[in-house]
Chains A and B, each alone.
Chain A
Amino acid sequence: MNGHGITIENIKKIVPFSQGSTEIFLTGLWSSRKPIHLDKTSPCRQACPVGNDISRAFYEASMGHYDEALRIFRQDNPLPGVCGRVCYHPCESQCNRKYYDEAVNIRGFERFLADNGKVDIGRERPALLRKEKVAIVGSGPAGLSAAYHLARLGFSVTILEALPMAGGMLRYGIPEYRLPKGILDKEISYIQELGVEIKTGVTVGKDLSLSETRKDYQAIFLAIGAHSGMQLGLEGEDLLGVMDGITYLRTINLGKKVRLGKKIAVIGGGNTAIDCARTARRLGAKDITVIYRRTRAEMPALAEDVDGLEREGIKIELLAAPKRLISENGKISGVECLRMKLGEADTTGRPSPFPVEGSEFIVPVDAMIAAIGQAPEAAFVKELGISISKNNVIQISSETTATSVDGVFAGGDGAGTKAFVADAIASGKLGALAVYCYFEGKDVKKELKNHQIGNQQSFSFQHFLNPKHYPVDLKKVVPYEKINTLCFPHGVRHNNPESVPPKEAVKTFREGTSGIEASRMPFEIYRCFKCGTCTHCDLCFLLCPDISIIKGTDGYTIKTDFCKGCGQCATTCPRNVIEMVEGPGGNT
């Protein structure tokens, strides 16, 4: 009021004085297109056999929540420290970032988390314990994974393992310099902490029959691996100085000595071959030649391991295959090889090699290791009437891991899944689901479909346990075109540094690479687009001209009453979490 008695109420009557809300105008009626805010699936996750929720882990890590990021990995994978070192990282080959600059070092990230994050097993313990007892034969990645997931579901799980220690090929195949035993021990101990009992030195079929086992346990998961080295099929394979790769590595890993001499030929291009050659180098062999029948591009071994091989001074004889073993005094003295040429692609998509006539040449050797593959030792399963192939591979339905016998399931190398750690873990996880469904009378295929990631075989164990925890569309995989790359500066990939110079490497079994430096890790974490995972970056919320995205403590909701359907939120979302649809939109 002024000295003349004028109040604001007087003024309100004489000039346009607007105090009404525009929210009486439902501008949402302008358009029928509305946004949906819902997490999607990253292509790396789809490519990961285990189905690791990679983008979400990166998101948590981006906020410094490394323990939570590790926990996300461990929802699907009990062996992140192992996979973080030796996985063939199919995730990285599907990483959207590779179209922008370079794929993200996902494996290095997983390793970083496993090495630096804290695991709180207590949080993973099931709320309810179940009565059913499940036996798992074999403690390789498939068996460990099945045990871990079954234990999380409350089953009483016992692993029966023939060898003195658990781990399968992780312990008796892959050498220390690639996968330190300490890492494996730690991850196995977490599984034990969950309540899994591991009985070592028990060979099923020998110490304990499969049928007895079947009686003591209500379900069995066979994860016996493939431990019998395949033969070249040449004369003289029983000569002194000839050995198969699996046996060689197992013997070494058992702590025994094997004397092979200075000049060694290793036949094969897979991990076993490369590991045999590098192990032999570390044990003193000076002149090692790896003989492989195709070219480097076709080698099944990981490229970085082949690089390591070359750095360590090991020769690779490509496009060559042994034709004959030459002996001297009952001992091998050379390998006669034939040059090969590549022809048409075979069923695996790789070109098949064929010999060039008259191209024979001789590689003189003191010993030869054949590492051309391995087969399961599965004869014992026949006792229960379980079918096996002529290569001793247990026959299963790949979608359910079920064998021909009720209550018995199988996975991993022994059941012919892809011979990689991650695939073994995946099949163990699927086995756990199958066992669960077996007891619950549920259809595994249906369950799998409900929690399936993209169009691949993997499924989300986390989603299976609690689909509401992270609302996500597991089927929609984010393509690169849907990434708003304008939100991302370019940046070089951080590789895992070599920890031992090649000169030293040949003298030690110390791990050859180290983890990404803690100070650099955030940069690599930042490089990840986090495809499909809302990072609460606020962009949609801040950009909406119609204030139709409401930010709450647990994410964003769409106020469709006012949303004019412009679609800016969907277009600018860096990671394709928002999508425009015809219809009511919202959050689901």
Chain B
Amino acid sequence: MIASEEQQEYMRSGHMACPGCGEASTMRLVLKVLGEKTIVVIVPSCVGVISATFPNSTFKVPCFHSAFEIAAPTAAGIANALRVQGREDVTALAFAGDGGTFDIGLQSLSGAADRNDNFIYVCLDNEAYMNTGIQSSSSTPQGVWTMTTPGGRQGRKKKFMQIIAAHRMPYAATASIGHPHDLMAKIRKAKNIKGTKFIHTLTPCPTGWRMPENLSAKAAMLAVETKLFPLYEVIDGTEYRITHQPLGLPVQEFTKIQGRYRHFTEEDTAILQREVDDEWEQLVAKTKGCKL
């Protein structure tokens, strides 16, 4: 259920996201939960487009367009300033893409997380540099087509949550636009925890994933239900809890609707399936013995 105060919108219509953009819907939900007392930090990414050009704003809350690699220290700087000012009822929130998080912003995120500065970091993972026109990032899954991996990406998608967990942040979670209630519950939780909170959201991009624009939320659901992108949370980097039991559909349910996987052979899919299964087991193993 959505709390009554969450009926409010803090994002406006009329923004320039592509039709069906997963980033836009994710941001909207995050803001719905965080509400009016939020300062948004964005960095170059499609969010920069979605957020509108001067003199307009897509947001009904204060927002700052920071630089690509500094989403975390920007939010941290704001959070610390708010502390100095005694405005700790205001949430500092950072939105950054996978490029801005897995790659160029990793160091600064790590630093902020290490200091445990008080802010929420939401990674909008669309698995490539979309704003610059679909280039591969370290979040791009193996084998996937992008403009810079025309023959399929060699590297494998970075296991980012493991890096996050290693920081022992008070709260980290994966979330997906396909499961909006779960996503909102996690933001709600994050809002009430002091320290660095990291939310890894999968935000399907119809443009970059080469799929029809009506399928992005469904793709997000499929990613979860195929166990490719399980929904879970990690408390203090050690306590794991799966928040949604996936249906366990075969991975090709997810891959077959996207052009970026078009060239995948049965063999490729089988490899991916094995990997997904292994990782799911590892995740389940981590939840064993956890108090949650």
Question: Which A residues form the contact surface with B (CB < 8 A)?
Answer: 16-27, 30-31, 484, 486-487, 489-490, 538-539, 542-548, 551, 559, 561-562, 564-568, 570-572, 580
Contact = CB atoms under 8 A, between A and B. Distances in A.
A21 B53 CA distance: 10
Contacts of B21: 545
Contacts of B247: 486, 489-490
B12 interface: yes
Given A18-B57, A486-B225, A542-B180, 4 more contacts: A21-B12, A546-B15, A568-B214, A572-B217
B154 interface: no
Contacts of B22: 545
B243 to A, nearest CB: 14
Given A25-B14, A486-B247, A571-B215, A543 B225 contact: no
A31 B218 contact: no
B19 A565 contact: yes
Contacts of B57: 18-22
Contact of A566 (B7, B16, B29, B213): B213
A12 to B, nearest CB: 10
B17 interface: yes
B13 interface: yes
B9 A566 contact: no
A546 B24 CA distance: 8
A22 B13 CA distance: 6
A545 B17 contact: yes
Nearest to A488: B247
Contacts of A561: 13
B14 to A, nearest CB: 4
Nearest to A490: B247
B214 A567 contact: yes
Interface of B: 2, 7, 9, 11-17, 19-25, 28-29, 52-58, 177-178, 180-181, 184, 206, 212-218, 221-222, 225, 245, 247
A547 B12 contact: yes
Contact of B14 (A24, A539, A567): A24
Contacts of A20: 55-57
Contacts of B2: 538, 542
Given A20-B55, A31-B19, A568-B20, A548 B13 contact: yes
A16 B221 CA distance: 38
A146 B10 CA distance: 55
B14 A545 contact: no
Contact of B25 (A23, A487, A543, A570): A543
B163 to A, nearest CB: 29
Contacts of B53: 18
Contacts of B222: 486
B223 to A, nearest CB: 10
Given A489-B245, A545-B28, A559 B13 contact: yes
Nearest to A20: B56
A325 B21 CA distance: 78
Given A16-B54, A25-B14, A489-B247, A545 B218 contact: no
B124 to A, nearest CB: 12
Given A547-B12, A547-B13, A548-B13, A484 B218 contact: yes
Contacts of B20: 545, 564, 566-568
Contacts of A545: 17, 19-25, 28
Contacts of B9: 547
B218 A27 contact: no
A22 B14 contact: yes
A57 to B, nearest CB: 21
Residue of A20, A31, A551, A565 with most chain B CB atoms under a 10 A cut-off: A20
B213 A568 contact: yes
A26 B222 CA distance: 31
A24 B177 contact: no
Contacts of A24: 14, 56
Given A571-B218, A572-B218, A547 B11 contact: yes
29 contacts: A16-B54, A18-B56, A18-B57, A19-B57, A20-B55, A20-B57, A21-B12, A22-B52, A22-B57, A23-B13, A24-B56, A31-B19, A486-B218, A486-B221, A486-B225, A539-B180, A543-B217, A545-B23, A545-B24, A547-B11, A547-B28, A567-B20, A567-B213, A568-B20, A568-B214, A571-B215, A571-B217, A572-B178, A572-B217
A18 B57 CA distance: 6
Contacts of B12: 21-23, 547
Contacts of B181: 538, 542
A566 B19 CA distance: 5
A25 B214 contact: no
Contact of A486 (B14, B178, B212): B178
B17 to A, nearest CB: 6
B240 to A, nearest CB: 21
Nearest to B222: A486
Contacts of B17: 545-546
A572 B13 contact: no
Contacts of B245: 489
B218 A22 contact: no
Nearest to A568: B217
A539 B179 CA distance: 8
B214 A566 contact: yes
B56 A21 contact: yes
A570 B180 CA distance: 16
Nearest to B225: A486
Nearest to A12: B55
Contact of A19 (B7, B23, B29, B55): B55
A539 B220 CA distance: 13
Contacts of B55: 16-20
Contacts of A27: 13-16
A506 B251 CA distance: 53
Contacts of A571: 214-215, 217-218
A18 B58 CA distance: 9
Contacts of A486: 178, 218, 221-222, 225, 247
Contacts of A22: 12-16, 52, 56-58
Nearest to A21: B12
A542 B29 contact: yes
Contacts of A484: 218, 221
A542 B56 contact: no
Contacts of B217: 543, 568, 571-572
